[in-house]
Structure 1
Amino acid sequence: MTDARFPGLLEREVESTAIQDAVKAASQGHSGLLLVEGPAGIGKTRLLRVARAAADELGLNVARAVGSELERDFAFGVVRQLFEPLLARTEHSEQDALWEGPASQAQEIFTTTTGLTAGDFAVLHGLYWLTANTSHNRPLVVVVDDLQWCDIPSLRYLVYLLPRIEDLSLLIVIALRTGETPTDALLLQQITANPVVQVLRPRPLSALATALLLDRALPGRVEQDFAAACHEAAGGNPLLLCELARTIVADGLETSTASATRVADLGPRAVDQLVAARLARLPQECIALARAVAVLGGHTDLTLAAALGGHDLTTALEAAAGLERAGILHVRYHDGLLTLSFVHPLIRTAVYGSENLADRATAHLRAARLLADAGATPERIAAHLLRVTPTGDGDTVAMLRAAAAQASRRGSPQAAVTYLERALHEPPSDTELSATLLEAGQIAEAVDNDAAVRYLRQALALTADPLSRAEIARLLGQLFLLLGQFEKAAAVWSEALAELPPGQEDLARRLHAGLINLGVLAPGLAHLRAKASQLRDLPFHDSLGGRELVGLIACWEACRGEPMAIGHAHAALSDDILITQAPGGSALPGAYFALVPADDAAVIQSIETAIAQAYRRGAVRDLVPALAYRALARLRRGDLAAAEADARECETAIDSSAMAVARPFLGPFLAHILLEQGRTAEAEAALTWMGLPDPLPPNGPLFFYLEAQARLLRTQGHLRHALHTALAAGDRFAALDGSNPAICGWRTEAAQCLHILDRADEARALAAEELTFARRWGAPWALGRALRVNGLVAAKDDGLEFLREAVKVLENSSARLEHAKALAHLGAALRRAGHRRDASPHLRQALDLATRCGASPLAEFARDELKAAGGRPRRPELTGPGSLTFSESRIAELAAGGATNRQIAQDLYVTVKTVEVHLSAVYRKLGITSRAQLPAALRSPRPANAPSRSVGAR
């Protein structure tokens, strides 16, 4: 019935045991997530105390927090509750270890100083490493009550943490009240539906447990019928039973069978009614203090509550003692202060609701002023101002704008927008209105593009200065572009250009760059593409705008297959100015759009720099395009595992943000990666994930989708549908003046379908046309692919020559996977021509390359052809430096240079466990047993002669 160590718990043995087992497992280095779920008053908070007590008993680190209705808009409120006490009790000399590495990115949350603005992603990554550092030497138990009221940034921290929890010595125990509207239902679902979660649902107390509880709570003997009446009235809810017991005592009701019928009259009364009735019997000083604490929320300083309640300290202390005796408040010392808190959130709700709306608003305004006088942070003050009736007060506007600035610096745009929306309702004065709208529009871009457009349009209408109007218009046009409203973007940018005073070369180029980008995306804006032809004759302007313009011109030229795009793209990337000053714009991915299909050797380094910068800044908008293009570059190089890792991380970032505009790029890239691995169903899911309507919209780079869909259909054997889709991709690409097969190889896709359908002449005509364009562009991947497909569809003798040329073009290129395809098809063609001896070396090399790339279908094809040629497939090279994947090689080089696993994980933005898994594979492939052997093994053409083993050393 009860646990001896926790005598207050009735019928909670199963839940208590599960919690204690999880804490014990955490003490041994195992991670986990426990969710205690149920209605208000069912005993969730008591069970969380079991977790804390068990953790304290085992000497674990414990961090605790409680979600609050009042503070659900307070950015990182729950995170601060968790970590501020931990940081406070950590010796100053040891705090540096907690902030080591990327953890420092989260310091802004816990300070009141102004620093560099950190994007939300950087802050979340910093919090992950703060958690990792905190649990590094001693396991950590994180306990969060009332998760349904947790602020959004703290919820996002938990969501970010869960996929990485396996790497930490961490147990998370959370309580969730059912039947409430949560702060963010989607984020909450991502936590509660996580595969690692273990759900505990305490049941209502039985009649026997109810009788035991009443025996403890009520004086005298409780007769059976009376206990049964109480059980029915409370429905087995422990909190309601306790409140019912207190009301019985306060009313002087006898606990006999004769009084059982009177209990039924109390039963329908909810907790708030029972508390209100009990509160009404207390002195007025108690009522005033209880309401002050209800307004202030959390652990309230007695001094502040006394001031808000209108009492001196002596009177307030006496009132607090009376409220504690009545079972309404706890009076405790917290961080050296005498603090007041409610015994249960339902009690706080009851007291808060006992005051009318007008009086509550007045109390929140007084609370805000008291906190301001006490030097509280703007966000703490703003939590109260959100509940104050707008009156046009300038001080309120100023404080809300300050809170928004603080929230934005701390990586919480959601909270910042909430504060600015409230400021706009005040409203600001005429002189402040435009600036406030601009702030709201700029910050809302990270949260709600539609809202951002609304704010920026209002700001533009209120702004007279041409330069300011042009800058607002530039931001507004970018939002229209992200929303797919290309005509509106073109109109706002064109109008801004027309109004721009002479001499504004940088801003003019930025606006022109945006218009060219629209021309590349929208078939109906051909006049903007024509303008690109004129603008590329302008001299290069050494500015941000100059780089943006030349970057988008390079994108346009690449679509057309003009080799000069490569030089323009390099000019755009010069000095990394686009990366540092405009990482979220279109010019940077525009330059990558040109260079990745050109097999450019330098583009990977630029993308790596952009990714590192995006992680430091923490902006998802910066990270997504860089990850997507690195995935494509790795696909073209044949590093399928690393390409998929980038694509999956990019997919997660898109799903957690408002970056739907990136889906038309990433979905097809991921589909191609999966098709190369033979994972057809997953490739189909990747295209479905894009969420495209039927029929397809007219705008956007949907030729990527159609080309990938055509390939998928051909793989599935739906040849006529595949052909139709490939031709549709060509129509889409041609409508944007596109002809470059390195960007959209629709002709070779259609040619392969036609070839299988025995429409040989049509297949050869399309393949030949593709080859002409590929020779003009000149990049090995596209040229090798075009040559290979020409070899497949050509007449018998001509086919061998095309395939030999494909192998030659690709053999010294970075396009390993396409080289493997050319080798395999050359070998197969030689075998069919009767040259079996000549075929075998090509097929063996193809098999080895395909295996190293992870291209299972190609490896199987090469193996079957090799057997048919009479060759014996040797085991592909799975050892030595040449067998390492891109990711394994990079981690091995860092480890050989002396970096620890934690340092590598921090540098590469992965978990320590990921590093350990990769190093295990490296040790096995190189045949070594220690880090000291890595430098020599990486230089050796053959594996070292030593037994292999798995590694997990830090």
Structure 2
Amino acid sequence: MYGGEPGGPGLYGRRSECDRLEGMLAEIRTGRSQVLVLRGDAGIGKTALLDHMAGQASGCRVARVTGVESEMELAFAGLHQLCAPFLDRLDRLPAPQRDALGMVFGLQEGNPPDPFFIGLAVLGLLSDAAEERPLVCLVDDAQWLDQASAHTLAFVARRLLADSVALVFATRESADEPALRQLPDLRVKGLGDVDAHAVLRVALRSPLDPAVLDGIVAEARGNPLALLELPRGRTPAEIAFGFGLPSTMPLASRMEHGFLRQLQALPPETRKLLLLAAVEPVGDVILLWEAAERLGIGADAATPAEAAGLIDLGSRVRFRHPLLRSAVFHAAEVGELQEVHAALGAAPDLDPDRRAWHRAQASPGPDEEIATELDRSADRARSRGGLAAAATFLERAATLTPDPARRVTRALAAAQAKLQAGEFDTASELLVTAESGPLDDLLRARIALLRAQIAFAAERTDEAPQLLLSAAARLEPLDVGLARETYLDAFSAATFVGRLTGDPGLREVAQAVRRAPTHQVGKRELILDGLAALYTDGYAAAIPIRRRAVQAFHSNDGSGADEPRLLWFAAIAAANIWDDEGWNVLSTRHVRVARGTGALSELPLALNSQIVALLLSGEQAIAAALVEEERAVREATGSNIASYGALVHAALQGREIPACELIDATVKEVVQRGEGIGAMNAYWASALLLNGLGRYEEALAPARKASEYPLELGMPAWGLIELIEAAVRSGDNRVARDAFERLSETTGATGTDWALGMESRSRALLDTGDADELYRQAIDHLGRTRVKVELARTHLLYGEWLRRDGRRIDARGHLRAAHDQFSAMGAEGFAERARRELAATGETARTRAPDAREKLTAQETEIARLAALGRTNQEIGAQLFISPRTVEWHLRKVFMKLGVSSRKELYDALPGEVRISIPG
């Protein structure tokens, strides 16, 4: 039975919770990671459960972190607590990860590390530590972790799998921590009456009338801390006749009030010492006494607090409970807080960022010296990847700046940092502060630009393109380069909302660009001018400059800071002008540059583009592996970009129920979010799926929606291809002919083999009398391209036409080719359609028996491919956001499924299309 006094062998009423935690310990001892978030009200017993887990972790190493409210603004403060014991293992990490963590902890200098390299480094560090013995990481008061630490630890928690690591967070029930929302959790509820009575009897010093006892239990609502703490500091008469506070006061506030009653009995010097301890977040005893000496507080001031069990001044300063620290902090007057902050900030050996923060909190008014210190702290925070901390330092610096003009500049810098940190409301408030100062035209334009960027980042609303356009127009006479960059942002915003936007849309952005002054010639200018030409002069007129833009990226493997975003525009332009080779090269380069530069916010876009290119090339196995990587990246980064590659993969597989569920969910999500380009891709995937299944009448509606806006950035022409086939097969020749006229405007203008092949095939579908020759032309053109799916579809359509023309023998060759190609690609819907057509000619299609290689999951395929390329476990883990130990676990499963025993045997055991992707 779990029972006994606090600190004893068990906990009252927590059998199921303790069993869950002990079960986690059993799992990590067998090499399987465990993650859990304990959620509950203040005082409900979360810390006691963490203590219990630590006490049961025999043979394990235990690392503890405690979030501190006053330390929330210091980047990676929580991570420092967790990783400090393991820093001697840094040299075992891959260089990019080692450098990232070294910069975070101030061990080296360099460019700001990407937060996901930091996450991978922590994952690798904990995984390495767990190699020696299982590791238990306990994070208490997670609601008070700094933002950078919270996001990093959540990243690590999501990527743990085959490591002997348990990561347990304890957080308030009411806390809103987005980083922890997706993790497994356990609600810690109040004790039942029997256990509550038992706990209360431990707290009471004398017997109590049963009716009063019942009243106290009801008042505490099963909260163990309330049962233990509320009676403290009260006389027996108070307990018997006047116990309790007004029931309208929240329980946490009543407990803080109870702590305050205990504090009131302490000498003034003791209360001030407790305030010093509450404000100093590190728990440094030496620093505490140095500050106390500056305030004239003697060593004997601690005795009453220690005797009352309120605080422990051992190796570190520890309060009996976080609510006690909170009660001390919130009960202080402003002047008292400024006094203790000043004493702490005067420490000569204090970390410069903490010194700046204490001095800022101590300042009664504007102070340029302190504001300058905060500026330097912001620079250091940025260099370590602490955007939220940098934003907070800059915000306080702006408040303390005496010069109005400089205050405007700092407020703008703070707003920019808040935007980057995702704190959109605070960023908007800082813009209001900036507007209250003296402004020149450039500052007004920069404020307008930031307001537009906040609008787009926060809500993706259709107002963002208009706001960005206005900002760009104001910047034109002041900073041409920044104005042109802003126009590209406006194109991004208008592209994102696409068909869901009102005015202005893409055409109005293009018109503004054409009116704007030109800037230095470069790749960005070619992209921008190509987009402007597309929406002002039309598709055909824009082809020359768009080809130059594609060629500029095709021949230049640069990797500047803006390269990832520009590569997305360039790859989309290549696909849009039917340049299959350019699309393949640029989408592949986009992925490589995004990975190499750590531009992980761009990586989902890059992967989606490459996945679709690979799928249309028939490289289904590689595409499926990248779908898995894209899922991992989105999960790791919290990206809300729709998985276009996964949509197309599902549609080509032809498995109706899972594909339709994914498509329907995506349409609902992107429409709600205002992502017009996502809606277009989802409708196209739906039409592709239904045509593959031979459900032509059902394919008509999504095909119409996909092709509704011919100049929409993306692939509306692909929707026209589906519309032509669906309409012809449904007997609606008028719709088919209209769609063909629109399609031929793009295919005829480019004249590539891909374009001409699609035009010939679509014209043949209309059966204008020369279908036989047109299908042959289409096969000839598409046979010279990478788009093998369209080649197989052309064989299928030609075979279907030949069978209906009574030429069954001729039809069989094309239908057999289509069936074999679709089967090899895993395009089950189209393969089944070809099988039915073959059966109608009197031939039975050969079915391939699945072998062990096809039993690999997408992630296992990608891990096997990378291993066959010679990548180490660390390198594979870094690319797929998993630990090296997890890579090893997956490889053991791959070896078993493929019947091999070493990496040397992997290449020959992999599916053919995967081997092709591996350079010889």
TM-score between the two structures when normalised by the length of structure 1: 0.80
Do residues 838 (structure 1) and 822 (structure 2) align? no
Do residues 352 (structure 1) and 329 (structure 2) align? yes
2:782 corresponds, among 779, 796, 810, to 810
Do residues 296 (structure 1) and 296 (structure 2) align? no
Q: Secondary structure at the match of 2:366?
A: coil
Number of the residue aligned with 2:11 = 9
**Residue 172 of structure 1, CA deviation:** 1.6
State the Cα deviation string for residues 85-111 of structure 1 (Å, max 9, x = none): 333xx4xxx441146663542332222
1:686 corresponds, among 666, 669, 685, to 666
Q: Secondary structure at the match of 2:38?
A: strand
1:239 corresponds, among 225, 241, 246, to 225
**Residue 352 of structure 1, CA deviation:** 2.3
Do residues 633 (structure 1) and 613 (structure 2) align? yes
Do residues 375 (structure 1) and 350 (structure 2) align? yes
Aligned length: 890
Bigger drift between 388-397 and 921-930 goes to 921-930
Q: Secondary structure at the match of 1:166?
A: coil
Number of the residue aligned with 1:342 = 319
Q: Which amino acid aligns with 1:770?
A: L
TM-score between the two structures when normalised by the length of structure 2: 0.83
Q: Secondary structure at the match of 2:846?
A: coil
Bigger drift between 910-919 and 565-574 goes to 910-919
CA distance in 2 between counterparts of 1:764 and 1:162 reads 55
Bigger drift between 852-861 and 667-676 goes to 667-676
Contact 1:554 1:568 in 2 (8 A): no
**Residue 821 of structure 1, CA deviation:** 1.6
Closer, same or farther in 2 for the Cα pair 1:384/1:674, shift >3 Å? farther
Number of the residue aligned with 1:43 = 45
1:127 corresponds, among 105, 110, 122, to 122
Q: Secondary structure at the match of 2:186?
A: strand
2:28 corresponds, among 10, 26, 29, to 26
CA distance in 1 between counterparts of 2:201 and 2:571 reads 72
Number of the residue aligned with 2:182 = 190
**Residue 790 of structure 1, CA deviation:** 3.2
**Residue 23 of structure 1, CA deviation:** 0.8
Alignment of 1:525-924 (within 5 A): 526=507, 529=510, 543=522, 549=528, 552=531, 559-560=539-540, 562=543, 565-572=546-553, 574-577=555-558, 579-583=559-563, 585=565, 587-597=566-576, 598-601=578-581, 603-615=583-595, 617-640=597-620, 642-643=622-623, 646=626, 666=642, 670-678=646-654, 679-692=659-672, 707=684, 732-734=709-711, 744-764=717-737, 766-767=739-740, 770-771=743-744, 773-794=746-767, 798-876=770-848, 892=864, 894-907=866-879, 909=881
Closer, same or farther in 2 for the Cα pair 1:519/1:274, shift >3 Å? closer
State the Cα deviation string for residues 237-264 of structure 1 (Å, max 9, x = none): 332333345435xx4x49xxxx973474
Q: Which amino acid aligns with 1:623?
A: L
Do residues 71 (structure 1) and 62 (structure 2) align? no
**Residue 721 of structure 1, CA deviation:** 9.1
Q: Which amino acid aligns with 2:304?
A: G
Number of the residue aligned with 1:158 = 153
Q: Which amino acid aligns with 1:284?
A: P
Contact 1:106 1:126 in 2 (8 A): yes
Q: Secondary structure at the match of 1:73?
A: coil
Q: Which amino acid aligns with 1:174?
A: F
Q: Secondary structure at the match of 1:396?
A: helix
**Residue 667 of structure 1, CA deviation:** 6.2
**Residue 706 of structure 1, CA deviation:** 6.1
Contact 2:761 2:775 in 1 (8 A): yes
CA distance in 2 between counterparts of 1:590 and 1:6 reads 64
CA distance in 2 between counterparts of 1:717 and 1:942 reads 29
Higher relative contact order (CA 8 A, sep 6+): 2
Contact 1:510 1:549 in 2 (8 A): no
Closer, same or farther in 2 for the Cα pair 1:884/1:549, shift >3 Å? farther
State the Cα deviation string for residues 683-735 of structure 1 (Å, max 9, x = none): 12112211348xx89x989765665576678889998897577556656335x
**Residue 345 of structure 1, CA deviation:** 0.7
Closer, same or farther in 2 for the Cα pair 1:864/1:106, shift >3 Å? farther
Q: Which amino acid aligns with 1:77?
A: A
CA distance in 2 between counterparts of 1:220 and 1:814 reads 86
Bigger drift between 225-234 and 798-807 goes to 225-234
CA distance in 2 between counterparts of 1:554 and 1:927 reads 56
Closer, same or farther in 2 for the Cα pair 1:937/1:406, shift >3 Å? same
Q: Which amino acid aligns with 1:899?
A: R
Q: Secondary structure at the match of 2:313?
A: strand
Contact 1:555 1:590 in 2 (8 A): no
Percent sequence identity is: 27
Number of the residue aligned with 1:320 = 302
1:418 corresponds, among 392, 402, 410, to 392
Do residues 139 (structure 1) and 123 (structure 2) align? no
Number of the residue aligned with 1:948 = none
Closer, same or farther in 2 for the Cα pair 1:592/1:212, shift >3 Å? closer
Contact 2:31 2:164 in 1 (8 A): yes
CA distance in 2 between counterparts of 1:288 and 1:451 reads 33
Bigger drift between 701-710 and 780-789 goes to 701-710
Alignment of 1:409-558 (within 5 A): 409-427=383-401, 429-446=403-420, 447-448=422-423, 484=462, 485-499=464-478, 526=507, 529=510, 543=522, 549=528, 552=531
Do residues 169 (structure 1) and 164 (structure 2) align? yes
CA distance in 1 between counterparts of 2:758 and 2:323 reads 68
Contact 1:118 1:410 in 2 (8 A): yes
**Residue 48 of structure 1, CA deviation:** 0.3
**Residue 833 of structure 1, CA deviation:** 2.9
CA distance in 2 between counterparts of 1:413 and 1:564 reads 39
Q: Which amino acid aligns with 2:181?
A: Q
CA distance in 2 between counterparts of 1:460 and 1:571 reads 41
Do residues 201 (structure 1) and 193 (structure 2) align? no
Closer, same or farther in 2 for the Cα pair 1:879/1:242, shift >3 Å? closer
Number of the residue aligned with 1:336 = none
Q: Which amino acid aligns with 1:204?
A: L
**Residue 393 of structure 1, CA deviation:** 1.6
Q: Secondary structure at the match of 1:601?
A: helix
CA distance in 2 between counterparts of 1:205 and 1:515 reads 58
Contact 1:519 1:526 in 2 (8 A): no
Contact 2:67 2:142 in 1 (8 A): yes
Closer, same or farther in 2 for the Cα pair 1:284/1:32, shift >3 Å? same
Q: Secondary structure at the match of 2:72?
A: coil
Closer, same or farther in 2 for the Cα pair 1:232/1:260, shift >3 Å? farther
Segments of 5+ residues of structure 1 without an aligned counterpart are 192-196, 334-338, 944-954
**Residue 343 of structure 1, CA deviation:** 1.0
Number of the residue aligned with 1:946 = none
Contact 2:835 2:845 in 1 (8 A): yes
Closer, same or farther in 2 for the Cα pair 1:301/1:606, shift >3 Å? farther
State the Cα deviation string for residues 381-414 of structure 1 (Å, max 9, x = none): 4654675676212133223323332332232323
